[in-house]
Structure 1
């Protein structure tokens, strides 16, 4: 499992320094860029501090491997992000700037933590309630009830609440994409949601009844599951969750939901999956290694 280390953080801060300078150059050169990213905010108010603390701070964090400048850059990024989002939500302007700064905040946080600790502390994500643990001994029916209850909570949160919030934000910030306002797009979304909801339920049943566990990391399967949809992909629940979210985004005509679904799948694949599979290799040994070698994670494999 490749760790995300200081070299990766420095590369990110270097790219952010260049992007910050390029952004201000575009603001100065293009009224359209200025309106999309700053609205009616006077550029002169932000340009100086931002070039010093965002672009310059990122450059110093890269050049000097400076944890201090990493934190300074993160602090400034946080202030600008909060302020720009408040302005955007109140006025309906500067939506693209708010989105760009939100992304910068996420990556700056990861980069600053990496500089400070020597590597990205991914283990923070999988600690406490989300730490990898085998499920307690229960009857298969009990595991199934727990799994279905978890699905209800997750599906309500990620397929109803979050898309509603993101769609409302898109409308407020004027970021709707008219290409999605077509009946065929919504129909494709319905198809994805129905098909992959079935895959999710099938995976849940296999995990509970054959694996004696649940989808939660803190109550993982006690037995290696290689039946049902697990014959075709190693983590059908991740595949189903990503496809379901994309389907909901298409139904809601929200490109932001679709983008976040793809980003979430990539983040899971890079950050969580290696830890999960390392845990499974330790618990199931050579059986899991053979299964991993024979079955892909995302694309279906013909069972042997």
Structure 2
């Protein structure tokens, strides 16, 4: 896929998917109204802001990586031509899902809305199910041994401290 089309498709998907899951639905659940569930909530609010900013940076970085390295989008209808294994993907296979979950958790902390923590649990279960039963088999079919080696070396949900080196390409991506 041409990079310009990949960038436009990724931007549209960014608004629809993470925007809906981590933006629209939390807003519908809370109207972004802050609560004070416990007297000592201020430090958790500060932590929530840090989590939100870091998660947004991770999410944007992952989307850019799909365009720059994969020549495609994260959207299932326009997948990348190449397996994306660079950047944060050297540490964890699912940085986008982790970032979206972190955005939800960050909002829960900032707003003091416990309902968002429950929503994060539901979203997490949906993500794990989708990855296990749809994405991983699809990536294995599309990229074969390259994906199998990557999957064996890089954890899906708990980031590794040292970046994975792709032995197939002979360099760090």
Tell me the TM-score normalized by structure 2: 0.84
Match of 1:214 among 73, 78, 85: 73
The alpha-carbon deviation at position 161 of structure 1 amounts to 2.6
Q: Distance in 1 between matches of 2:126 and 2:21?
A: 16
Match of 2:121 among 245, 258, 262: 262
The alpha-carbon deviation at position 214 of structure 1 amounts to 1.0
Q: Distance in 2 between matches of 1:256 and 1:180?
A: 18
Q: Distance in 2 between matches of 1:300 and 1:156?
A: 24
Matches within 5 A, 1:263-278: 263-278=122-137
1:197 is matched with which residue? 56
Match of 1:157 among 17, 20, 37: 20
Match of 1:239 among 98, 101, 108: 98
Q: Distance in 2 between matches of 1:225 and 1:215?
A: 10
Larger RCO: 1 or 2 (CA < 8 Å, sep 6+) = 2
Q: Distance in 2 between matches of 1:282 and 1:241?
A: 26
Judge conservation of contact 1:200–1:237 (CA < 8 Å) in 2.
yes
The alpha-carbon deviation at position 235 of structure 1 amounts to 1.4
Q: Distance in 2 between matches of 1:265 and 1:251?
A: 19
Paired residue secondary structure (1:269): helix
Tell me the TM-score normalized by structure 1: 0.49
Provide the aligned length of Structure 1 versus Structure 2.
163
Judge conservation of contact 1:190–1:247 (CA < 8 Å) in 2.
yes
The alpha-carbon deviation at position 142 of structure 1 amounts to 2.2
Paired residue secondary structure (1:298): coil
2:142 is matched with which residue? 283
The structure with more helix, counted as a fraction of residues: 1
Structure 2 segments unaligned to the other structure (5+ residues): 165-173
Q: Distance in 2 between matches of 1:181 and 1:300?
A: 30
Change (3 A) 1:220 1:289: same
Q: Distance in 1 between matches of 2:124 and 2:39?
A: 21
Judge conservation of contact 2:21–2:100 (CA < 8 Å) in 1.
no
Matches within 5 A, 1:26-65: none
Judge conservation of contact 2:92–2:159 (CA < 8 Å) in 1.
yes
Structure 1 segments unaligned to the other structure (5+ residues): 1-136
Summarize deviations over 1:63-116 as a string: whole Å, max 9, x none. Answer: xxxxxxxxxxxxxxxxxxxxxxxxxxxxxxxxxxxxxxxxxxxxxxxxxxxxxx
Q: Distance in 2 between matches of 1:268 and 1:290?
A: 22
